[in-house]
Chain A
Amino acid sequence: MAQTENNDDEQAVAVEVKPPNRLVRKKRPKKKAAPKAPKTEQGDAAKLRPAAAIVPPQSVAGRALTLVVAIMSFLACLTVGAVSIVWDAADAWQNDLVREITIQIRPTEGVDMLREIDKAVALAQEFPGIGAVRALSDSETKALLEPWLGEGLELEGLPVPRLIQITVSDPELLNLSQLRNSVSGQVTGASVDDHSIWTSRLSAMAGAVVAGGFAIMVLVMGSMVLSVVFATQSAMAGNKDVVSVLHFVGAEDGFIAREFQRHFLMLGLKGGVSGGVAAIVCFVLVDMLTRQGSGQAGSDQVSALLGSVSVSLPGYFGVFAVVFLVAILTALTSGLAVKAHLAKVD
């Protein structure tokens, strides 16, 4: 134990340095009752501001990174919207095609075409799951051929195949291969086309669009993650003193990471929401413009191709998911970057 040598002002100082109970390590006197805090202490406590953030917010790369996150979020949301539009359009086309089958009867010498048509119609109607069966009339067949062969066509003089349009009421009940066998076996020159080539192509196209959209999302999110990693490293370098102080007061790496993560979560939320809102505004504007432009060549083309150019409800859910993902990804990335940095430092 230390002993002071000059005791000239010891008594006076001893009064000044009377220790608070907190510092007494041993033999703490029993408290009779919890003492009320003196009025001055209550006053001091009342003046205290809410605890400030340990990592100063202004030291974390602010506006520039928020803007980067907002742009990335906007691009990701646009991708989700575009994928949603194409997916919905492909789904609509596919549904139309799946519910329609065509029987084609090619003319054969010595065979009465009209009788074969009637036979095929009667045969098709017997199958379960078939809704309406209708042979295209002469005028409809002429209308189909008109763009290629011109007006005033005489079908009797030409070996033109005839079509029977079948609407499927319940695809699950219909045995397509049985229908195909019966028709081709019993009706001369007949074949059944269920548009499977078209539907498979549409599926492939829709799949390619989704895969493309997913790839763009991965690239955009990857760029964002890298930006956040750089920003976190810069924030760590800027807060070297804070990190050092936190270390020597006994902070665990997880605590330090959480302090940085909190800022980046807020930053990610701000950026993500801004980008998401901008994307939703874009979707609404595009929808309005295509509706307003109805009748004009450009917007009619787009409408013909995609149907309605409006993002469906799942598309909007996708936008919310992107915003959520952006915020979480930003926070997680910064947390991991801080931990990786601390692992190297100590």
Chain B
Amino acid sequence: MIRFENVGLRYGMGPEILRDLTFQVEPQSFQFLTGPSGAGKTSLIRLLFMSLRPTRGLIKVFNRDLSVIDKQELPQLRRKIGVVFQDFRLLDHLTTYENVALPLRVVGKQESEYRSDVIDLLKWVGLGDRMHVLPPVLSGGEKQRAAIARALITRPEVLLADEPTGNVDPPLARRLLRLFIELNKLGTSVVIATHDIALLEQVDARRMVLADGRLSIFD
């Protein structure tokens, strides 16, 4: 699904912050990406999401080599990947409902086609009664769930979540984790970047540990 071979990344003329990364994200797999703060988890998530290009190595996303891919094809590939950012990245002038519906608007769907799906999903993530409010009014946990709903609305093949429980209390973190597990059971590959040890201990899943720019994988 996503394959990295000897991937390295440096910013500008600085040191290489990711070195010789070789791994695959298999279909319907569930994995944690962990490591200390500053280890490069967010950079790796950005590489997975094609918002950064590697300095060296091969990245194949859905069997397409990113080094030769045309820029026009990137949006099509990105639509197969849902991303949840640590800082949510919700648009403050759009309601929760409109934020979640955004990926469907972008592909040109009419509101009548997706209205009930968006409402269902918002109810599933527990935001059924908050769909008409603007993000500044939402709590951290609610924003997090809205961001997750936005990532899921297009039924992505891969879900990337960068510190999805970083802004929520432990009970909500557990609840969000179950949400990801449920999603994984439904066929979506999940990659969760976190340094929350408590979260890792709750699930028996593949762990990819980043340290000193190198990746160790524990299946």
| Contacts from A to B (Cβ < 8 Å) | 1-6, 9-10, 13-14, 16-26, 37, 41, 44-45, 47-49, 51-52, 54, 56, 241-242, 244-252, 255, 343, 346
Within 8 Å by CB of A16, from B126, B201, B202, lies B126
Given known contacts A2-B184, A250-B76, A251-B106, A22 and B153 CB-to-CB distance under 8 angstroms: yes
Which residues of chain A are within 8 angstroms of B121 by Cβ–Cβ distance?
A: 20, 22-23
Q: Using a CB–CB distance below 8 Å, which chain B residues touch chain A?
A: 28-30, 49, 51, 71-72, 74-76, 78-79, 83, 89, 91, 93-95, 97-98, 101-103, 105-108, 111, 115-117, 119-121, 123-124, 126, 128, 131-132, 150, 152-155, 157, 174-175, 178-188, 190, 201-205
Task: Taking A54-B91, A247-B78 as given, write out 8 further A-B residue pairs in contact, using a Cβ cutoff of 8 Å, ordered by the A residue number.
Answer: A2-B205, A3-B204, A19-B183, A41-B120, A45-B119, A51-B111, A54-B105, A252-B72
A9 to chain B, nearest CB (A): 8
How many angstroms between the C-alpha atoms of A25 and B89 in the bound complex?
26
A5 near B202 with CB under 8 A, answer yes
A192 to chain B: closest CB distance in Å?
71
By a CB distance below 8 angstroms, the chain A residues around B203 are 2-5
What is the CA–CA distance of A20 and B114 in the complex, to the nearest angstrom? 13
A14 to B179, CA, bound (A): 9
Residues of A within 8 A of B131 (CB): 44
**For the complex, what is the distance from the CA of A248 to the CA of B76, rounded to whole Å?**
11
Q: How far is the CB of A100 from chain B (nearest CB, A)?
A: 66
Cross-chain pairs A/B with CB under 8 angstroms, 28 sampled: A1-B30, A1-B184, A3-B204, A5-B202, A5-B203, A6-B202, A13-B175, A16-B126, A17-B179, A18-B124, A21-B120, A23-B155, A25-B188, A41-B116, A41-B119, A44-B119, A48-B115, A48-B132, A49-B95, A51-B105, A52-B95, A52-B98, A244-B89, A245-B91, A248-B89, A249-B79, A250-B76, A250-B103
A251 to B115, CA, bound (A): 20
Residues on A with C-beta less than 8 A from B74 are: 346
Question: Once the chains bind, are B89 and A2 in contact (CB under 8 Å)?
Answer: no
Nearest residue (CB) in A for B179 is A17
Min CB distance B44 to A, Å, is 16
Closest to B117 in A: A22
Q: Determine the residue in chain A with the shortest Cβ distance to B184.
A: A2
Q: Which of B71, B178, B185 contacts A1 (CB 8 A)?
A: B185
Q: Which residues on the A side are within 8 Å of B120 (C-beta)?
A: 20-22, 41
Q: Are B117's CB and A52's CB within 8 A?
A: no
Q: Do A17 and B117 touch (CB < 8 A)?
A: no
A6 to B102 CA separation, bound complex (whole angstroms):
35
Assembled-state Cα–Cα distance A10/B181 (Å): 11
Q: What residues of B have a CB within 8 angstroms of the CB of A56 in the complex? A: 93
Expressed in whole angstroms, the Cα–Cα distance for A244 and B78 within the complex equals: 13
CA distance in complex: A142, B117 (Å): 97
Neighbouring A residues of B89 by C-beta, 8 Å: 241, 244-245, 248
Which residue of the partner chain B has the closest CB to A2?
Answer: B30
Structural contact, A45 and B115, CB atoms closer than 8 A = yes
Instruction: Point out the residues of chain A lying under 8 angstroms from B205, CB to CB.
Output: 2-3
CB distance from B132 to the nearest CB of A (A): 6
Give the distance in Å from the alpha carbon of A10 to the alpha carbon of B71 in the complex.
Answer: 44
Knowing A23-B155, A25-B188 are in contact, say whether A250-B79 is a contact too (CB < 8 A): yes
B155 contact from A22, A244, A255, Cβ within 8 A: A22
Chain B residue numbers with a CB within 8 Å of A255 are 106, 108
Instruction: List B contacts of A23 (CB < 8 A).
Output: 121, 124, 152, 155, 183, 186, 188
A19 neighbours in B (Cβ, 8 Å)? 124, 182-183, 186
Question: Which 6 A-B pairs rank lowest in CB-CB distance, beginning with the nearest?
Answer: A25-B187, A20-B120, A250-B79, A2-B30, A249-B103, A2-B205
Most A CB contacts (10 A, CB to CB) among B116, B131, B150, B188 go to B116
Closest chain-A Cβ to B219's Cβ sits at a distance in Å of: 12
Q: Which of A20, A54, A241 contacts B117 (CB 8 A)?
A: A20
Instruction: State in angstroms the CA–CA spacing of A17 and B175 once bound together.
Output: 8
Q: Choose one: A17, A51, A246, A346; the contact of B71 (CB below 8 Å).
A: A346
